[in-house]
Each structure stands twice: as C-alpha cells, then as structure tokens.
Structure 1
C-alpha cells in the first residue's frame, strides 16, 4: 500500500547514497521505490530526473524535471537542469523559456544581475525571444545603460522584421528612438521598415502596448528619457543650450517686453518636452515679428522630434550660416535626411560638419590640405554612389559627433598628428568611418612608441595584429611600411607604400596618395617611378607649382643617374607645363637653366649657348645667363661677342646704379677668363670708378703681367704708366719696371 513514510525515507536515503557514488542505475531503482510511495514528491522527482540525466536518458530526465516543476518545484536548480536538458535535446526555444522563468525567480529575490544573465542566455538560444529581449532593454534602461538597451530593441525589431511583422518592428524602433533620437542604426532600420509598410498604413502608436501574447506581462516599464536628458554634449545639444540661454536673456531686452510672456512660455514648454505646445508657442512668437535665429533653431529641433522632416530642415537652413548654430544645424539637417533614408542629401551636410570640427582642432598649416582632403572625400562618395558605403559613413559621423564629441575630437586629432608621417596630414574622416577606431588609434600609438624605443620586432607584431583586425585601414599599412624601413627592408617598404598610395587613389583620396608618395621619397629620393607618379597626381589636382618643383628633382635625379637624355626630356616636359604655373617666366627660366647646365656638363657649347639665348629673350639682364653666354662665346672663339655680352650686362647694372653688382659680375668674368686682357681692364676701371685704388692697382698689375707674357710690351708699358699715375706705395718699383720695358724696346 502506497504512502509508507518509512519505506519512502529509506529509499530516498539509499538513492542519495548511490548518487554520491555515481551508481546511477541503483539510484534510479531507489527513486522509483520512493515515488511508488509518494508519486508527487519533488525531491524524488528531481532526483530521478538527475539520475536519468547522468545515464544520458535525456527524454526521461526532462519528463521528471518538468513534473517536479509542475508539482511546485521553484528551485532554480531544477529549472537550470531543465534548461540544460532542453539545450542538449535541441529544444532551444523551450530552453530559452526556462531561462526566462529563472530570471523571474531572480527578480523576486531582487537579483537583477542574475536576471540579466538568464535573459541574455535566453537570447543566445533564441535570438528573437521577445520577452527576454524586451526585459533586457528595460533592465538596461533602468540602469542607465542606454547603448545596450538600444541594441536589445534593435535585435527585437529585426526579429519582428524577419517574421514579416513590420508594424511591431516599427513600434520597437520608436521606443528605441525615445532613448536616442539620433541613433543611426535605429533610423536606418526604420527606413527599411517604411518601405515594407503599405503607404496608407501607419505603425501602431508608441504608447499602445504590443499585442503579441508573449509581451503582455513585461517588467521594467520605465518612462523613456525626456528630450532634455538625451545626447548631453552633442553639437546639436550644445547649440540648443545656447539658443535657450540667449532666448532667456532676450526676455529682459526692452524691445521684447510685450512678448516676454510668450518667450518664457515657449522655453518652459520645451524644457518639459511638451513638443507640440512648445512649437505652437514659438510659431506664435514668430507671428509677433520676433525673427531670431534661436527661435528657428529650436523650432527645427521640435519639428525633428515630431518627424516633420521638411519643416525641420527648412528651419535649420535659416540659421546654418550663424556662427553659434552652424555646426548644430548642419548635423541636424544631416540627421533629418538620414531619418528619411535620403543618404545622398545627408552626406554633404555631415561631411561639412565634420570638416568644421576638424579645421577648428587642426594646426593652421594643416588647414589647406585638410580642406582639399574633405573636398576629395565628398566628390569620391558622389562619384562612386554606393548607398551602403554612404550609409555606413553617415552613421559613423553621427555616432562620433554624439556625447563627449569634443573629447573624442581632441584625442583623435592629437593621435592622428602623432602617427602621421612628416608632411602628411590625416583627417578625422580617415578614422571616423573605421569600425573600432578607438582601438586602432591606441594600437597605432603603441606601434609608434615601440618603434621609438627600438623594439622593432614587437612593433611589427602589434602592427600585424592590428591589420588582422582592421585590414582595410590604410594608415596601419603605412605604419608597417615604416617598420620595414626601420628593419632595412627597403624593397618591402617600397612595395607597401606603393600599394597604399594606389589604394588611396582608387578611393579618390588623392591628397592622401600624394602624402604617401612624398613619404616614400623621403626614404628613397632617387626613385624616379615614385616621383613620376607623384607629379601625375599633382598635375591631376591642378597643383602645378608643386608638380614643377618635383620636375626639378626628377630631372636632377636622372642627371645623377647619368641618364642625361631622360633629364633633358624631363626638363622640356616641365617647360611645356610651365604656362599653367603661377609664374610662367620664372619656371621657364629655371628649367632652361637646368638644360643649359646639362649641355655645359656635356661640353656641348653650341647647344648650351642656344639655351642661354632663349633665357635671355625671357630675362635679358639675368646675371647668370649673361656670364654663361660670355664664357661660351670665348670657348667658341668669339671674344668680341663675349665682350659685347659682358658690356651689355655690366652697363645695365651701372644704369640701375647697382655698382656692387657690376663689380661682382666683372670679378666672376675674370675668374671665368683670367687670361683675357679686356676683362681685367674693365674690372680695374670699375674699381677706379668706385674709388677702390688698391684693388684697381692689383688688377692693372695682373693685366700688365699678362701683356708682358704675351710679348705686348707697348700695351704693358701703357698699363704700367696707369699704375704709376695712381701713385701706389711701391710706385718706384713700377717706374723701374717701366724703364726696363723701355730699354728692351730700344
């Protein structure tokens, strides 16, 4: 006869003993005997379930665990065993339900962290589990963990979307927007859902509870955060606070006395997040003739919250040139277009907002290059027109310019400047659109420090690890190229830099590509291929003066490599480009001089003279050109033409009263042709004209010596007489010399 307590207790005791010895079959027999006496005993039911579990009889184990629960077994251990068995049997949804039940028990014990753990486990088993997701979102909201709450809302909305229930998905998205009205992922999903919904069909009201049976008894029904508590510190929020403060002060202005009540009312309503009432008050204010930028900006925000996108954009556009509201307005307009899924319209406003912030944080010398970088970036997105890529970049900007954006900008700018190569400027846009940007910046900073400390192998390993995580972030590859250089692997470094430069070019970030080529040239200045590519990019960007400077270096490199014809081709190519430069004459002269110098090195006097004659047509009185022509005429056996050239040049300096310039020119001419009497005579006369008697005597002395050596005694005697007239300290020696010349002549 059932119900024998003594038999029951003896069987339970024996079952426990067998279980402790892992004698499961014997334990099963004893638990069965116990249940024969008391079939609903929870201890016996759960014990038998555990014994079956350990003998891998999972179906039987689950049956007894479930029976134990039905009999009132609230022991979390029973539920945990149930969930474990359900998982093993592949009944994942049932297991998720069990974990939700475990969370309920944890809540009853006020163990919120345990409840969160069980809900998370439920979502891992059944990603679309509505109760688990919703309770997680509410729990995170109550803890102030807004980002995590939004992730749960998004996951739940996406689950509804997969189940073809766009109304419910939209409802969940709207609840998420109450926490973060500018969340890019939520807005993007809402745009997709709008396409699924029929045009005439509107989503259920946010305030209406979800009709799904599994969402009827949700906990943590906290109120959403009011607008005044969202996105603290974002550019839009900062502009809002500026507008509210300015309007509050305007109440006391004399010309606003009559409307002070309306202003105060509008401000109070907006601070209370009474959107409709506040908007009406501001509209009433405009009707009184108070047309202030603060009013339009606040109306723009209110209409944005009401999702009246076109009216919101119109209001923001009215203040986008005001210095206090430009940044906030640009960002808000981008958000409005983004919320409508109009990515192409949102992009230029958000890029402009990021550019404004970047220029403010950058050094003065960086600004021109940054402006060009952002222009290239915008043009690249427009030309490629890849909606998904545009959407991701838009979302990245919106996230970056959320709370604590000023701190993020400052830190990012400092790190970018620290890791950029010499002469290379990196924009915030390069890092904003990269997933895990903060980790990447930290990694690059670490790589730089390790390199500076000489720990090249460790830096190399860190760079490779970072690239595995973010393979498409090109500055990481540049840093790896730097490490190759440190290791002396110049071929690897060159290959890496060239690849990165080409990729930047493919992305239409021409400024970055130019920076990479210049970076490579600092380590490999003789690389003519790299310099040629750099010239091509500079010309493409219409940066002609910089391109012409690179032509100078390229030609010099060819000359040093003894590729003379290539050097001449390079200089002639540059001359053809010079009309597009800032000063065609100056550039043409520079390159013609280089060509002339090449011909001089080749001892091709006639070709050199032709080049210098071309230069003279451009700049008739260029000293270097005139002297070279003087020298070449002598070398070509045309001394009279040489002296004419010299006289023309020196005469020009005399006419301009540049006497020292004339002297210097004649001195150099003497060095070029020290045996020419006519040149020394002209220098001596130039000295005399400036009262430099001692220098004149020295030149006349040298001239007389030349004449005597050449056997021109009459000319030498004339020169000596000129010296004697100057009465130098050693005049007697010159008189004696003159006497000897005269005697020899007789």
Structure 2
C-alpha cells in the first residue's frame, strides 16, 4: 500500500533540521517515521544510515547502508560507507572488497579522481593489494601522470619479487620503462632485481599522488574527516615515507642518492643549508613515532622538540611546516604556529587544513580580520571541492572580491562571527555532506547560472535563520504554495535585507507565478547591485537570465553586451549581438538588424575570433542585404567571406549570381575563372566541371562559360568534349551577332585538330569573306 507523501516529506524535513542541529537521535527518529511511509525510499534509508553512524550504532548503520546499496546499485557512496563500517567493526578484508567495488562504480561513472582516492584508501589499509596497485598504475598511465604510475609499478614489482615471481617483476619494470624510459629509479630497481637484491617493500600510505595533483577525498562525503586532522594524517604519512626512503636506500650507494639525500641541499624540497643527514633522519623518525604511537597527544611536546631538532639539522618540507604548526597550536605557541602554517598554505596537499588552522590561530590571537581572510580562503577550497567540476572554477572566481573586500570593510565583531560560522561548518567530521545539504537548501530553485558561494550566506549576521528560511521557501514552493513561499521570503529579508541570492530566489518565484515583467525588473536590479559590488560574473549570469526569459528586452541585452565586452568574453559578445539582430529582425527593422550584425563583425575582427565565427556573421549580413535589395552591399559581404573561404563554391555562386543581376558580366566571368583556375592547377577537373555545369544551367546563353568548360575539358584530356563545348559557344556568338568571337572559337577548335577540321576551315573562310 502506498504511503502518505505529506507525512513522509514532513518527517524527512524534520529529520534534516535535526541533523543540521547535530541532534542525531531525533534525526534518526524522524527518518524511521519516513521509512514507515515508504520503506524503500533510498534517500530515507541513506539518511537513517548516516544518523546511525553518527550515533556510533555501527552495526545498524551497516544494515541500512547495505540496504541503500541494494536500492542504488550504481551509486558507489553507500559502498564506501559500508567499507568504513566494516573496518570499524573489525572486518578489514570485507572492507577492502567493498572499497574495490565502489572504485569500479566510480570508474563506470567516469569519476576517475574519486576512484583513485578509493584505491589509495585501500592501499592505506593493505599496501600489498595487487589489484588496487595495478588499477592505479593503469589509470595514472592513461592520465599521463607518469611519476605516479611509476611509483605503483615499482610497488607491484616489489610485491611480485617478494612472492618469488621474479620474472613477473621484471616484466612489470620493463613495461614501466616503456612509459618513462629516462627513469633512473626504474633502471636502479631492475638492476637490483638482476643482482638479487630486494626492492623496498610497499608501505601503508594515505596518498601517493604527485604534488601537482589536486587533493582528493579518501572517504565518503558525509564521513569526511575534520580537514585539519586529515591534513595532519597526510603530513605524518609523508614524513614516514621520507624516513622509509632513507632507511630503504641504505642497501646501496646508488639507492642512497635516490633516498632522502636527493631532497636535501639544493634539491628544492629541502633547503640549501648544510645538513646533518643522520641526525635529521633520527629526529624525524622519533617525531613521527611519538605522534603515531600516542594519538592521545600526551607525547606531542616531545614530538615537537624532535621535529624542531630535525628542522635545525636542515629539514624543510611542507609536511614538516604543517605538522609543526599543528604541534605549536597544541602547545599554545600561537605566533610560532602562524609562521609555520604560513609556509604550508601554498602547498596543494595542506592548503585546506593549513588555512583552517591558521584562521583558528589568528582568531585566538584576536586578529579577526586576518582570521576571516584565512577562513574565507578555506571555505573557498571546500566550496570548490563540493561543486560540480564544470562550475568549480567560476565559483572560485566569485570568492575573490569577497575575500578582498569583506575583511577590510567589516567590523571586528562581524568578522569574528563569520570566523565562528566557518569553523562550525568545516572543523568537523562530515563537513562535505553538511555543505552538500546546505547547498541543496541554499540553491533551492535558483535557475541556471553559476552557483552561489556559501560565503554569501555565512557573511550574513544571522546565517542559521537564513538557512532555515531558504529551506522553508523551497519546501513551500515545491508544494505549490507560491504565496506562502513569497511571504517566507519577505520574512527572511528581515534577517538579511542585502542578501542578493534571496532576492534572486524571489525573482525565480515571480517567474514561476507568471509575473514575467516583475521577475525581469527584479533580476535587472539585482544584476546592477552585483555589478556595483564588483561581482561581474553573477551580474552577467542574471542579465543572461533576463534576456533568456524576455528576448525582446533590448536594454538588458545591451547592458549584457557591455559587461561581456568589459570582461573580454568576446565570443559571447558576438553571440549576443547576433541574438540582438534576431530581435530587430523579428521587429522587421532591417537597418537595426544590420547595425547589430556590423557590431558583431567588428567585435569578432578586433578580437581575432575564429574564421567560422566571422563567416557566420558575414553570411547573416549578406542575407539581410539581399532582403533589402542592396546588392552592392551584399557583394561586399560575400567578398569578405570569399577571402576567408576561397574554396567555398556556394559563396562564389552567390557572388556570380549578383554580378549577373547587376549586368556586370565581365566581373561574373572573372569570379568564375578565379574559382576554377586553382582547381585546374590541382588537377581537380571533375570539381571544376561540376561547378561550371551548374553555372551553365543557371546562366544559359553565356558562351564565355562554355569556353571555360572547353578549356577544362582540354586540360583533362577530353578533346572531343572540348570541341563540342566550343562548337556550342560559336553558335551562340553567331546568334548574338558576334562573328569576330565566333572566328576565335573556330580557330580554337582547329587548334585541337578535330576529325572534321575541313568543315570548320570552310566555315572560318566563309566568315572571313563576309567580314571582308
């Protein structure tokens, strides 16, 4: 029996609200009520699974995530949750199996980065997992990430060697050398195998991606760890790897040069200072061990001292800078933490965590504006990571004016509130899922355009009330209660009167209620406000929305063109001028139509846009000129097209037709000849003859066309055909009363030595006597 949709929706909304407040017990209760109405609803099952997870009811969460996976067999996320829960409940083998299945689904869905993250997570649990290594190596190779692929091939070779399959290990290295023939590391590994020495054993790593690769999540969205703790885990893994490289390289002098020594003095990752490598390695190893063995932080002070000694010995690395900053923060040495974290923020692996922690440090120091800057940068990273890939870059651009202006123009109390809002959102487990939930409510019924930065919401004084209001507006609107939704929007304006995304949502509701004029006016005002705030991207997006729903709004389109021009988006400028021409054309205003097209052409030429774009504009201009019976102007347009596309037969045909209409026969024939001549030079006789046959059909009674055909036939070796065409041309000349031209044709025939040359000679003599 079908459940009650209203009760289901209410229970789900109540559950989401409770989840937002971190009241997972109530959230779980509401989600269970929702499942009573629709037991197989995937979202309800998934939400209840998350609530159970947050309540640490792992066995129950596992049951619901397994059910979610059954309901959504193509969705890899439940499988990731299952893997994490199996690990937490002491079943690592099955956890790995679930992760591998989720990775295959990510590959199937063409989400390669997420598949890579899962395989890396598998290797953090089972570093000798051959399938994960193999899949990673293959994907890295296909992505062109040769260094990452080589690291995996080396690990695979080590696994085979230690399993006693030396031949397979050699095969792997031989293949890897085909990928990167110049790799000294691969050559050294092959030499080690051939001499019977063991390759270093693969070790657990959180990540093996190159520094140039973007950081990818290792776990699923709603289970995403605190970014600061995740960055610290990554830093410890990298530091452990540095130690391991040095210890493993001790097997030979050649390998020693490829170990930690290769990234000290003069190599870039470590400084150019003189270093005491042995001391540095010992101190670093002790610092890593103290932090790894004592996760309760009781040995952090000793770890800090060891890490400082390693740095004094010459160690420099982004992982060291972050770990030092983290330890300094824990020791309340805040100024030292600032200096260390500022060195880490520019590294892709640590930018997110370092910005967050640095903002927290600055907040504790009472530097609210500096803290706001760092935390807005962190929010930018988080927002871009959770946005669709095709919108992430544009979303990032929207943060730049916010980060530039907000800290400078905001009172300290407001900046402090912003910092607390951002830390509340991001310094938590499951931050990614929280952002996604907010965006679902926040974006609501925004139609098209770029995403709105979460910073817009968090910079509002009463952001929590705003989120709740946005959620209620969406729910009311989806329920078809437009008037109530609008009333809720006006209520929300009391909390955030200058919050433009709310005004955009109100405009969308006006549009849905068929109040087109009011919606257009609303959008235009908001666009102007965004522009005055220096946010041209969203001003452009809104004006595009306006002209999309009100194509005849010429003023809005002109404003859009001005903005696009100012920001160098010239291809879009040309497209808007073309659409403006369509508007004028529909108004039967041909002069204005041509004026808009002329502006489009000028923009395309000045910006040196592609030939195809210019041809498209010129073709439209020529069409308008023909409709206006301005043949001379049409010819000018076609001449420009011809210069851009000299091989376009249709353009030549149009020009020739116009010349004949205007009585300019000589120009028509010259144009015809200039098109045919290059074809005959290339011996493309069939193409030339096809064009001339079309000209002969469309312009009968023109002996010059027949003579051109005869020339092409002669060059093609078809003498008989050439004679026939010349014969036809001669008859036409005689009909037109031009015996002189007829005699020229007969002499051309005689030059071809036809079988009936005597007849043509007699005709020539007859014409000569008459002429005499």
Give TM class, smaller chain. Answer: 0.5 to 0.7
Matched-pair contact (CA < 8 Å) for 1:266–1:281 = no
Hey, what's the Cα distance between the residues in 2 that align with 1:701 and 1:493? Answer: 73
1:86-124 Cα distance to aligned partner (Å, 9 max, x none): xxxxxxxxxxxxxxxxxxxxxxxxxxxxxxxxxxxxxxx
Contact 1:467 1:473 in 2 (8 A): no
Q: Secondary structure at the match of 1:271?
A: coil
1:598 paired to 2:598:
no
Q: Where do 1:404-423 residues align within 5 Å?
A: 404-413=430-439, 419-423=445-449
> 1:468 and 1:649, CA in 2 relative to 1: closer, same or farther beyond 3 A?
farther
- Aligned with 1:551 (options 562, 570, 577): 577
CA apart distance, 1:516: 1.4
Equivalent of residue 240 in structure 1, options 208, 232, 236: 232
Residue 296 of structure 1 is matched in structure 2 by 321
The DSSP-based 3-state class of the residue aligned with 2:339 is helix
1:313 matched to which residue of 2? 338
Distance 1:308 1:701, change over 3 A: farther
- Out of 461, 476, 490, the residue aligned to residue 484 of structure 2 is 461
Contact 1:419 1:444 in 2 (8 A): no
Query: Residues 263, 588 of structure 1: CA spacing in aligned structure 2 closer, same or farther, 3 A cutoff?
Result: closer
Bigger drift between 348-357 and 546-555 goes to 348-357
Residue 373 (str. 1) matches residue 398 (str. 2): yes
Q: Deviations over 1:275-334 (max 9, x none)?
A: 655533432343355545444322212323455443212211333344432210122223
Q: Which region of structure 1 is more displaced relative to structure 2, 461-470 or 610-619? A: 610-619
Gap change, CA 1:712 and 1:286, over 3 Å in 2: same
Work out whether 1:529 is the aligned partner of 2:529. no
Matches within 5 A, 1:61-72: none
Deviations 1:41-96 (A, max 9, x none): xxxxxxxxxxxxxxxxxxxxxxxxxxxxxxxxxxxxxxxxxxxxxxxxxxxxxxxx
SS at match of 2:551: coil
Residue of 521, 525, 529 corresponding to 1:499: 525
Quote the residue 1:643 is aligned against.
669
Matches within 5 A, 1:280-429: 280-379=305-404, 381=406, 393-403=418-428, 404-413=430-439, 419-429=445-455
- Give the structure with higher Rg (CA): 1
CA contact (8 A) 2:286 2:306 kept: no
Match for residue 17 of structure 2?
none
CA distance in 2: counterparts of 1:649 and 1:388, whole angstroms: 76
| Mapped contact 2:224–2:432 kept (Cα < 8 A) | no
Residue 271 of structure 1 corresponds to 296
In 1: Cα distance, 2:502 partner to 2:691 partner:
55
**In 1, Cα distance between the equivalents of 2:347 and 2:580?**
48
TM-score normalised according to structure 2 size: 0.53
Deviation string, structure 1 residues 450-469 (Cα, Å, up to 9, x no partner): 4xxxx3xx134224313421
2: CA distance, partners of 1:481 / 1:699: 71
Query: Residues 652 and 322 from structure 1, CA distance in 2 versus in 1: closer, same or farther, beyond 3 angstroms?
Result: same
> In the alignment, is residue 480 of structure 1 matched against residue 499 of structure 2?
no
Q: Note the 1:257-268 alignment, pairs <5 A.
A: 260-265=285-290
Q: Does the alignment pair 1:443 with 2:466?
A: no
Question: Conserved in 2, the CA contact under 8 Å of 1:361 and 1:413?
Answer: no
1:652 and 2:678 aligned: yes
Q: Which residue of 2 aligns with 1:633?
A: 659
Q: Is the 8 A contact 1:266 1:279 kept in 2?
A: no
Task: Tell me how large the CA RMSD over aligned residues is.
Answer: 4.9
Map 1:210-229; keep pairs closer than 5 Å: none
Contact 1:267–1:278 (Cα < 8 Å) also in 2: no
Change (3 A) 1:433 1:265: same
Residues 284 and 383 (structure 1), Cα distance of their counterparts in 2 relative to 1, 3 Å cut: closer
- CA, structure 1 residues 690+517, in 2 after alignment: closer, same or farther (shift >3 Å)? farther
Give CA-to-partner distance per residue, 1:597-637, whole Å, 9 cap, x none: 32222111223334444555566555554333322222221
- Cα deviation for residue 355 of structure 1 reads 2.9
C-alpha contact (below 8 Å) 1:463/1:479 kept by paired residues: no
Are the structure 2 counterparts of residues 589 and 475 from structure 1 closer, same or farther at C-alpha, using a change threshold of 3 Å? same
How many Å apart are 1:514 and its aligned residue?
1.4
**Structure-2 change in CA distance of 1:390 and 1:538 (3 Å):** farther
* Structure 1 runs not aligned, ≥5 long: 1-143, 146-230, 723-746
Over 3 Å counting, the alpha-carbon distance change for 1:613 and 1:294 in structure 2 is closer
2:142 aligned residue: none
Q: Is the 8 A contact 1:504 1:513 kept in 2?
A: yes
Q: Tell me how far 1:401 sits from its aligned partner.
A: 1.3
Distance 1:235 1:698 in 2: 86
SS at match of 1:318: helix
Q: 1:562 aligns with which of 580, 584, 588?
A: 588
Counterparts in 2 of 1:352 and 1:670: CA distance versus 1, 3 Å: farther
Indicate if the aligned counterparts of 1:467 and 1:476 stay in contact, CA closer than 8 A: no
Q: Secondary structure at the match of 1:596?
A: helix
Contact 2:386 2:432 in 1 (8 A): no
C-alpha distance in 2, partners of 1:414/1:268?
41
